[in-house]
A = this chain, B = another copy of it.
């Protein structure tokens, strides 16, 4: 996985609007990936998240379940709480959440409750994903909020980080 700053250089701001959005999403996802790497260095499941509003990062966090001994300490949850504190409001309007792994039911629920209008994720999670895999919680018209969703942004990089982490854990377990 390559997440060096140098990679940001290949963003082409002369491209069309859709291409620019794609490239901006990749740009921010790289920053979320840096958080995932930080989690890995603490022996936490490597998932990172950032929240961007009006072109500015207002929250960034990584999974901290083991360090904090808190089952609710997923990257998205910490970032949402941070963003609400930053804005002084629980409504995270005009925000985009970038997260390296498809949100679980808890995090998808928190996204709905915080009214985040747009979510971009990296790898999908066939075992617990609640956005496109097991459930589509962010697109349920019965609930009082929906969010636009883009998946698979730098999905291979985000997924490989997780795959390697769990492979290393299993290898340790077999020793």
A interface vs B, CB < 8 Å? Answer: 65-66, 69-74, 77, 80-81, 84-85, 88-92, 104-110, 112-115, 127-128, 130, 134-135, 137, 140, 142-144
Q: What residue in chain B is nearest A92 (Cβ atoms)?
A: B71
A4 vs B96: C-alpha distance in the bound complex, in angstroms? 46
Contact of A137 among B70, B105, B127 (CB under 8 A): B105
* B71 engages A110 (CB within 8 Å): yes
Q: What residue in chain B is nearest A107 (Cβ atoms)?
A: B109
- Nearest 5 A-B pairs (CB), nearest first? A106-B109, A105-B109, A71-B114, A71-B90, A71-B113
Q: What residue in chain B is nearest A137 (Cβ atoms)?
A: B105
